[in-house]
Amino acid sequence: METTPRPVTGTLVFRDADEGDVPALVALIESAYRGDSSRTGWTTEADLLQGQRTDPEGVREVIGALGSRLLVVEREGEAVACCQLEHRGPAAYFGMFAVRPGLQGGGLGKAVLAEAERTAREAWAAEEMHMTVISVREDLIAWYERRGYRRTGSMTPFPYGDERFGIPQRPDLEFELLVKPLGG
């Protein structure tokens, strides 16, 4: 069933995740990328990968890692999005980005990305934001390009055989590095 995206309304609260957020964040990330629920949104990877996108241990690792932040985005006390920021010298890495499928397409992702960029600039004086995207995700890469990211052509192999990252449904998956200067 196709639904019309709801525009971003209500106050968004951005905060660092803690241990109590782990179950809700795992469910949010899984719903945005895997299985039938992910098909409600446009970020689904269900045709590329099956199995899990993350697990409680993976989320805990991000929450507890030095130089890492997992931002939870809440509206009316409910987690509606999240993203990881990791300090990597003059750059910040952006990952574990998820928006609840029924809310995709209404500007929430754009708001989260903008806040992540602001946070990286202010907290770490990051000069660039880096991210990796599965290279065959042309629609997703185009979305990032519209927000100032550029393709670098720098590829990293997909971790075939490590089911913590999913079960690939095709043999040509790899990650491409996208970069955006954050300016001042």
Question: What are the pLDDT digits (tens) for 125-152?
Answer: 999 999 999 999 999 999 999 999 999 9
Catalogue the E-assigned strands of the chain: 12-16, 49-50, 68-75, 78-88, 91-99, 128-134, 150-157, 167-168, 174-181
Q: Check the CA dihedral 97-54-161-85 and report its sign.
A: positive
Confidence of residue 97 (pLDDT cuts 50, 70, 90): very high
Mapped onto helix, strand or coil, the DSSP state of residue 110 is: helix
| Residue 88: per-residue pLDDT | 96
Per-residue DSSP letter, 43: -
Confidence of residue 9 (pLDDT cuts 50, 70, 90): low
15-55 confidence digits (pLDDT tens): 999 999 999 999 999 888 776 665 666 666 667 777 777 89
Domains of the chain: 12-181 (3.40.630.30)
Distance CA 33, CA 104 (A): 12
Which range in 5-19, 40-54, 86-100 is most confidently predicted, on average pLDDT? Answer: 86-100
Token pair, residue 19, equals 């241990």
Query: Are the C-beta atoms of residues 147 and 110 closer than 8 Å to each other?
Result: yes
Catalogue the E-assigned strands of 105-149: 128-134
160-172 confidence digits (pLDDT tens): 988 877 888 889 9
